[in-house]
């Protein structure tokens, strides 16, 4: 087991290093951010002073090594526009994204599992068809459509705060997070419903379910205890991956709802070509994704010894 964890850790570090290098290369290709200020040419000496200040006068490999060195000490540099420490920007955005991700996952697991179980148990019934049709539709609708429709029609009503709203309007986080979380959850819930239905049907055909029924266990116990637990495995895997993705920030949803998470931070940084923020957010997303999928892998290995051996 220890060897397995060690191997996964080494892989994770390599992935993180490779990803930072690629994103560093990509933003480097954006060119000199100080040559122009909006639509005005910046005087050469001022552009030079800025380049010096941001270390852009050094060759790329040196810049990269400096960056990685600083990053390991938790220093992501300062942003080009307002010269704020990028780590502070991340610190402010990460908790919001984590809240959003967790609430979204809770909503989609609840909806997805219940819908999937109903569809599987009442196979080919009206409810099964309904779940399948809705799930297929939900998977087909792009997330921005759902988001824009919710902003236009639901926000500003009942517990859902207006978008946009004056920044002095105080909204508790659990109200602010509702609509974006629901938007994110719809597609995942549809996936989970279909996954759950499939694996549940498979499990219901298994021998031990027949045995359980033969022993005279109530249908509730058979489904709720024996069948459901075993058909959750693919769902757990999917949720793990999904959580990793969500922790990295939901760019479209957060931007539509003007929700201050890392996805919104990234979308604004891209618009302004603010490379230090872009790099830091991408690094954070990669780290979040790699770590969470690693944890899921390890948990999985605990659950199923065959994975450890393979």
Partner 1 sequence: MRRSRAALSAIALSAVVGMVLTGCSQKSNTGSNGGSQASVGFPETQDLPPVAGKPGGTFRLGITEPTAIDPYNAQESEGILVNKALFTGLVNVKPNGDVYDGVASKWEPNADCTAWTFTLKPGQTFSNGEPVDSAAFKRGWERTSAKDSASDVAYHLNEIKGFDEMQAGTATTLSGVDATDPASLKVALSKPDCEFNLRTAAPPLAPVPTVAGAADNKAYNDQPIGNGPFKMDGPWQHDRGIKLVRNDTFGAGPKANLDAVEITITPADTGIQAEYDGFNNGQFDWARVPTPLLSQARSAQEPKNQWISKKTAGINYLLVSVTTKPLDTADARKAISMAIDRAAITQGIFQGSQVPADAFIPASFSKVYQPGVCEACTYNVDEAKSLAQKAGLTPGTEVNFQFNTGGGHEEWTAAVKQQLETNLGLKVTYSGVPFRDLLKNEQQPGATGLFRAGWTADYPTAGNFLTPLLSTAAIGAATPQDVAVGDNRGRYSNPKFDDLLAQAAATQDEAKRDDLYKQAEKIAIGDDLALIPLFARQQFRMANTAMFGNVRMDFWENPTLSEITLK
Residues lying near partner 1 in the complex (CB under 8 A) are found at 31-32, 35-46, 49-50, 53, 81-84, 89, 151, 156, 162-169, 255, 258, 260, 264-265, 267-268, 271-272
User: Which is nearer to partner 1, 83 or 122 (by Cβ)?
Assistant: 83
User: Which is nearer to partner 1, 29 or 309 (by Cβ)?
Assistant: 29
User: Which is nearer to partner 1, 34 or 191 (by Cβ)?
Assistant: 34
CB 48, min distance to partner 1, A = 9
CB 146, min distance to partner 1, A = 17
Q: What is the SS3 assignment for 181?
A: helix
User: Which is nearer to partner 1, 2 or 82 (by Cβ)?
Assistant: 82
b/e 36-62 (16+ beta carbons within 10 angstroms → b): eeeeeebeeeebeebbeebebeeeeee
CA dihedral 7, 12, 17, 23 (to 10 degrees): 150
Q: What is the SS3 assignment for 216?
A: coil
User: Which is nearer to partner 1, 175 or 211 (by Cβ)?
Assistant: 175
CB 55, min distance to partner 1, A = 14
CB 103, min distance to partner 1, A = 21
CB 289, min distance to partner 1, A = 24
- HEC sequence for 82-150: CCCEHHHHHHHHHHHHHHHHHHHHHHHHHHHHHHHHHHHHCCCCHHHHHHHHHHHHHHHCCHHHHHHHH
CB 246 within 8 A of CB 108: no
């Amino acid at each position: 087991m220890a060897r397995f964890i060690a191997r996964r850790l080494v892989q994770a570090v390599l992935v993180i290093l490779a990803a930072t290098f690629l994103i560093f290369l990509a933003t480097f290709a954006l060119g000199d951010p100080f040559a122009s200020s909006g639509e005005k040419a910046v005087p050469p000496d001022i552009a030079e002073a800025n380049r010096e200040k941001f270390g852009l006068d050094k060759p790329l490999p040196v810049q990269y090594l400096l960056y990685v060195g600083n990053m390991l000490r938790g220093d992501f540099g300062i942003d080009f526009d307002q010269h704020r420490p990028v780590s502070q920007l991340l610190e402010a955005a990460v908790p919001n994204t984590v809240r959003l991700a967790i609430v979204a996952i809770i909503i989609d697991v609840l909806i997805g599992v219940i819908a999937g179980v109903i569809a599987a148990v009442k196979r080919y019934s009206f409810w099964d068809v309904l779940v399948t049709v809705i799930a297929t539709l939900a998977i087909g609708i792009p997330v921005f459509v759902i988001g824009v429709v919710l902003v236009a029609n639901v926000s500003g009503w009942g517990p859902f705060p207006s978008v946009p709203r004056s920044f002095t309007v105080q909204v508790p986080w659990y109200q602010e997070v509702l609509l974006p979380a629901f938007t994110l959850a719809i597609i995942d819930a549809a996936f989970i419903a279909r996954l759950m239905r499939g694996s549940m049907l498979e499990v219901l055909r298994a021998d031990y379910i027949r045995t359980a029924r033969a022993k005279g266990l109530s249908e509730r116990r058979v489904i709720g205890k024996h069948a459901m637990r075993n058909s959750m495995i693919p769902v757990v895997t999917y949720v793990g991956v999904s959580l990793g993705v969500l922790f990295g920030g939901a760019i479209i949803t957060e931007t539509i709802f003007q929700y201050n998470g890392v996805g919104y931070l990234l979308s604004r940084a891209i618009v302004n070509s603010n490379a230090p923020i872009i790099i830091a957010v991408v690094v954070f997303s990669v780290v979040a994704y790699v770590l969470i999928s690693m944890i899921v892998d390890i948990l999985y290995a605990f659950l199923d010894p065959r994975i450890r051996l393979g």
